[in-house]
Structure 1
Amino acid sequence: MSIFITLIAALIVFSAVIAIHEFGHFTVAKLCGIQVNEFSIGMGPALWKKIYKGTQYSLRALPVGGYVALEGEESPESQQTEAAARDEREAEEENPVPPEQRTGIPLNEAPVWQRALVMVAGAFMNFVLGFVVLVILVAAQEGAITSKTIYSIENDALCGQTGLQAGDEIVAVNGRRCFVANDILYELVRTEAYRARFTVKRDGQKVELPDVQFDTWQDEDGQTHMTLGFTVYGIKKTPLNVLKEAWNSTLYYGRIAFISLADLVRGRESINNLSGPVGIVTAIGQAASYGWQDLLELLALITINLGVFNLLPFPALDGGKVVFLIIEGVTGHAVPEKLQGTLTIAAFALLFGLMLFATYNDIIRLVTGAM
């Protein structure tokens, strides 16, 4: 039963994240008058399909996301090469929409700014999904919303002796702005020697506290842990406060995704900690076993992570396509198709290699954990 729940939960999460991403590309393409040949929910053999207003809408057998097929996704140079190698009949078979029903222009004939909007729309919708999920979670949570303002400091707590005071609103830790209370905890986990630089708002003025220190304790295994030493105020759960908290939590998730990637590149985090599809499915199964709120929280984390990752200026990703479009907009000339293709293939190979390595790590962790 647990395996069944894990598979169902994983399908729901992956389908939601990928389908909403493709819906972003679809919607903006339609608004820009670009021909969308097909919008599919799911992959594999078609269970149902219908052409409506110049687009084929499909429901496919494998519930693992979906895709959008745009007319003219390739460059004019590529189209000319293909046109010489195939006849009109073969070309028509690749497009499910008859010529007389097509209502839009090819993607490569649209202005650069419209093509760029189509590319970023997928990631944007991932952020929107994350925000909506976080609104639900914040509204459904028991008790008040956690603030960033200190309510009280424990007696003789080291953090109080080294600068923090009751009533301080924590603005930043180690120079990084705190959007939500979780930002404070995240930055403190990353600190060295259990000390950090705080920026607080005190009596209406910003105050710099260069060396706030924290008490520690050791568990039975000799592991050292930090004691926070202070509590914060709660915020009344009004509709406006729920929206603010959800928005700030979206920024929090987006930033930790970017910081995690940066830490990986800089070597602060080991590549051995990288997790792939197996690890993600395992995490989804664990979250589902805890309850719907944990599953939704993981969904928010995954969709926002996907949004950030897709906007990276990497050739195989939407962000890389935007970089090519910016170059085209500035120079007036498209990046040669051959160069784009070479860079994209190399990038895909690297990403595929990383995925295999991460999957290997996941399997090793599962095996050693089972043992």
Structure 2
Amino acid sequence: MLGIIFIIFMMIFLFGITVFVHEWGHFIVAKKCGLKVEAFSIGMGPAVWKKEVDGIVYKIGALPIGGYVSLPQLDPAGMEKVQGDNDETPREELPDVSPWAKIAVAVAGPACNIVFALILGTGVMLLPQQEIREENGVFIAEVAENSPAYAAGLRPGDEVRAVNGTTVKSWYDTQVESLLGSGNDGDVDFEVYNETDGERTLQLAVNHPEENPEQLIDGVKQAEPCQIFSVVSDMPAAKAGLQANDLIYRVNATVITGMNHFRELIQENPDTEIVMHVDRAGEKLTIPVVPEYSEENDMVMIGIQFGGSLGLPWTLTGNPFKQIYSDSSSIFRLLKALVTPSESKQAASGLGGPVSIFQMIFVSLQIGLLTTLGLIRFININLAVLNLLPLPVLDGGHICFALWEGITKRKVHPKLVASLVNVFAILLLSAMVILTWRDSDRIWNISRFFKGDEQKTEQVAEPTPQIPKTTEPVAK
């Protein structure tokens, strides 16, 4: 019980600190630039706690979907109704602020999220790494002979190189591109390769991850990546030239289906040369290795340690700048899909809201510190990118208003700003409500309460730690 309470506390804390970092950036730069700050809130809606200090109201809102800093010189009419501010007292006349100061304040929030993400990425790089994101290939382990995929030509051992023309480097990438490219008929072009048949393009039917999270393609099982985390010196693997981050996908003619399968093959070949087929940063290598029997451990060994790969975009380790690039690439891919007619419907179906975010944090906390730090880093980049979109309710909208003022020397009328901000705020909150309902129904099947008696008697499946979403939007 205490463990669950601690996890719930950490979920709220980790999401809250992300929002705090963003709003603190606005807050501190606004004060430095001389702007009037009326309120600093974590959470939206009516306050469950508040305190006024030096004329600034600090509070916690009832709705944990974001936060705000109330700046009347940046947002003249404010978002009182949306933010939960009901004070009807007329504001004092405030001096004008230069458009460049407004831009600095608006940019400060996303910038702080990026800096915080780099700090988290550095932590991920420095921590002892037990989870490595596979980025060296996607391999098929099993194909049922009576499946449509087998009839289309897919075979065990095939490497998936591209989906609908987009290169994929992980199973997560494959799921995302399959979802976005499936259209109405569910068929997707897979570019696959094996040494016997060469390169082929196969049209395969794919499942929506929420309808069938276990199998992307009926009758097909992907190979669990066997990516080397470390190599023990003076052991067979090191002597043969295997290196950390090598991805082992075949031993002799046998396709590896997972780490346990690999270990079984090693146990079957003591003091016998076997050929390791590995992918090293895209280069295919064949490396002969002779496993040795260890009397001390009473088992056959080659001297490697695997990293448990999750295949999710935030589990990338190493250079923190590469981590940030990977995070932002995933988010921009989704944004591109949302404005691409052939992908927009599928992209929208893959969106998640606050419930999905808390679910992901819950799962990551159970997996380990490395995954949790990576996820919070990913959410910070998500928050930074989305808030820079040129929509009036977001930081990007305020930047656009300030740029117009700086270039034309004319302000956008405060009433127009207020109208646009409130309209888009209502649209954003409506989207959050819809996503919250959809995510809650997906996890707890709450729609059963609104169906007939027959549906009400159905059992509700427990939520699993699988996260088929693409990227999760976070409200500012």
Per the TM superposition, whether the score is higher than 0.5 is yes
Aligned position for 1:253: 327
Residue 128 of structure 1 deviates from its aligned partner by: 1.4
Between structure 1 and structure 2, the one with the greater Rg is 2
CA deviation after TM superposition for structure 1 residue 249, in Å: 0.7
2:388 partner amino acid: L
Q: Distance in 1 between matches of 2:437 and 2:390?
A: 26
1:125 equivalent in structure 2: 112
Alignment-derived partner of residue 199 in structure 1: none
Partner of residue 279, structure 2:
231
Match of 1:114 in 2: 101
> Of 374, 388, 393, which aligns to 1:311?
388
* Contact residue 129 and residue 370 of structure 2 kept, 8 A: no
In the TM superposition, residue 57 of structure 1 has moved relative to its aligned partner by 7.3
Bigger helix fraction: 1
- State how far apart, in whole Å, the 2-side matches of 1:144 and 1:280 are: 21
1:139 is matched with which residue?
A: 126
| 1:35 has 2:36 as partner | yes
Whichever residue aligns with residue 232 of structure 1, its letter is R
Aligned partner of residue 70 in structure 2, secondary structure: strand
Equivalent residue, structure 2, for 1:264 = 338
Q: TM-score, normalised by structure 1?
A: 0.65
Name 1:370's counterpart in structure 2.
Answer: 460
Match of 1:193 in 2: 189
Q: Kindly tell me the number of residue pairs found equivalent between the two proteins.
A: 302
Q: Quick check: 1:254–1:305 contact (8 Å CA) kept in 2?
A: yes
Quick check: 2:42–2:68 contact (8 Å CA) kept in 1? Answer: yes
State the distance in 2 between where 1:314 and 1:219 align.
Answer: 35
Structure 2 SS opposite 1:33:
coil
Cα contact 2:114–2:381 (8 A) shared by 1: yes
Structure 1 unpaired stretches of 5+: 80-88, 96-104, 151-155, 163-172, 177-182, 197-210, 234-241
Separation of aligned partners in 2, 1:352 and 1:321: 18
Q: Distance in 2 between matches of 1:283 and 1:144?
A: 16
Q: How does 1:41-80 map to 2 (within 5 A)?
A: 44=47, 46=49, 49-51=52-54, 56=56, 58=58, 67-75=68-76
Q: Distance in 2 between matches of 1:305 and 1:273?
A: 15
Letter in 1 for 2:127: A
Cα distance, 1:308 vs. partner?
A: 0.9
Taking the aligned partners of 1:61 and 1:219, their CA distance within structure 2 comes to 40
Quote the Cα distance in structure 1 between the aligned partners of 2:107 and 2:383. 12
Change (3 A) 1:263 1:18: same
After alignment, is 120-129 or 259-268 more displaced? 259-268
SS at match of 2:19: helix
Other-structure match for 1:8: 9
Looking at structure 1, the residues matched to 414 and 353 of structure 2 have their Cα atoms a distance apart, in angstroms, of 31
* Cα distance in 2, alignment partners of residues 279 and 4 from structure 1: 19
Q: What's the counterpart of residue 434 of structure 2? A: 357
Match of 1:184 among 131, 156, 169: 169
Moved more, 356-365 or 331-340: 331-340
Report deviation, 1:248: 1.4
Shift of 1:356: 1.9
Q: Is the 8 A contact 2:74 2:398 kept in 1?
A: no
* Alignment partners' CA distance in 2, 1:331 and 1:254: 32
Distance 1:20 1:188, change over 3 A: same
CA drift of 1:331 comes to 2.0
2: CA distance between counterparts of 1:147 and 1:370? 33
SS in 2 for 1:247: helix
Alpha-carbon distance in structure 1 between the residues aligned to 2:124 and 2:376 = 11
- Structure-2 change in CA distance of 1:174 and 1:33 (3 Å): farther
**1: distance between equivalents of 2:429 and 2:62?**
21
TM-score (structure 2 length as normaliser) = 0.52
Which segment drifts farther, 258-267 or 32-41? 32-41
| 1:275-322 residue CA offsets vs partner (Å, 9 max, x unmatched) | 122222222211112222222222112111111111111121111121
Alpha-carbon spacing, 1:282–1:336, altered in 2? closer, same or farther (3 Å):
same
* Equivalent residues in 2 for 1:200-239, closer than 5 Å: 222-223=219-220, 225=222, 230-232=278-280
Letter matched to residue 109 of structure 2: G
Cα offset, 1:140, TM superposition: 0.5
* CA positional deviation for 1:214: 9.6
2:286 aligns with: none
- Identity within the alignment, %: 26
